Structure formats: structure tokens, C-alpha cells
Structure 1
């Protein structure tokens, strides 16, 4: 019995490591682990089950992410996996890794602010430009290149940029 539990733990870790490397199709510099979309991996009756949570309800990337997880697991010899979506608790930007936030900034997308940002206190949001670092920025549209981003512009360097919305 101990051997079986050990094998399940090894399989779970192996499956987690494989799933964690799947990239977000909308922001290919981020993995689903960076985003916090990968919620859990379990082994149930010998079958790998992967739980994912969308960044927002109705996210069109989720079908592609599910397929990419299944394919990645299959390539590693993990067959007959089950990938399912978990909506509760709802995804939050607090689940993003520090590495993921760094990757977003390096990619030219302003990372989400912490839940305790100035906006939470005063209703005013200040977003630093990922190009030049200036906080003299303005929102152009609450809808950016994808539904999880807003379009902003820096008044200093005049460059437009996406801001990953807080949830």
C-alpha cells in the first residue's frame, strides 16, 4: 500500500511539473502556473485529474489550455487524464507568481497591482509604464488586446501598453 501511495505522489508531481509548463495562448511568455490558472493536480484511482481556473468567466483561452495540458501529459506518457475547470473560488491576480509578474513587465504588459493598492484606498489607480517606469499614465480603454487586459498610455514616453486587470 505504501508503494502505491508513493507512486501516486510521484505521478502527481510529474503531472504537475508537465502541466505547469503549458503556456497561456494569449500571453505566451507566461505559463499557467505563472498565472495561477493551474489550481491542482490529483491522482484519483490511478487517473491524473488537473483543475484549472480561468482568469475570468468565459475566457476563450481555456479550451486551448485544456487541450494543451492533455497533449503535454500524453507526450509524457500520462494517458487518459482529465482536465476540468473550477470556478469557485474565482481566480484572482493574487494567485500570479512574482516570476509571472516580472515576465509580464518584461513582455511590455503592466502587471496587476496588489489588492492593497492605492486604488483600493482612494478609488484612483496608478499604473507604472512597463516601458519607462513613469506613473504618469492614463487609461484609454477598459478593454485591451484581450478581455483580461485594459489599454493604457504613458504620458511621458507616449507609448500605449496593456495593463493586466486586477480581479
Structure 2
């Protein structure tokens, strides 16, 4: 059953009770990485294996994402800064215990591609906080694998 979450703002990425932050480098430039994250939403399952389906909503102002295993999210895009930042708030989900969630992707040029920082910021009761912290290593592993797949995906779709 879907539930509405608390409506948080961008600063929640820095102030949430639980923050998981992961970083990596990609060979691709920030522009293509941003396009893959923010504009080519339906292609997300091609490079992020935990995502079963994704589609833009409301002319790109939101997204709907289904994870493998049945969890889904309806999201509002909070920040669009091409090549630099993409953030969204989860407004509705069937995930238990969560009170608020926001994900913030930061991109910056690196010497040979893009430095990517992904923050999952959340709030919920003690059980949620404990589960998020315990899941951190697995979420980080999933992130790193997805970023490797994204880099390969972008290398195969880049035009000269």
C-alpha cells in the first residue's frame, strides 16, 4: 500500500538523521552522465540492476521508479543543474517505516571524466535508521556496480 512521505527540501541532504553517501569516478564526461540520470530516465534499468522500471512523470517534473522486489517510488525533481546536480524527493512509496527520503546526485569534472557523489538522505523510526545503516555496505556495492555499468553503457552509446 502506498504512503505519502514528508515533504522535505534540498537541505535535507545535509541534515537528515540518516545519510548514506557514496562516491566514484566515471570515464564519461559530466554531460552524458547527467543526461543518463536526469533525461534518459526510462533507460535506468539498463545500467542500474536494482531498478526494474523507471519513467518520467508530469513532463519531467517527477519520476516513477519500481525496484526489483516490488518497492516503488513516486518522486518530485528538486534540483536540475545540467552536468552538476540532480536531486529528487520521494513523495510516495510502499517501503515500510520510512518517513522522508531524498536522493542527491552531485557531478563534477575530474581529470579523466566525472566524479560522482550520491547521497541518500532519510528519516524514520529507530528500526528504519538501523536498517538503513545496516544496508549501507550493500547499497554502496550496488551503487558502484551501477556506475560501472553506466560508464560502459555511455562508452557504447557515445558518438564521435
**TM-score, structure 1 normalization:** 0.30
Q: Which has the larger radius of gyration?
A: 1
RCO higher in structure (CA 8 A, sep ≥6): 2
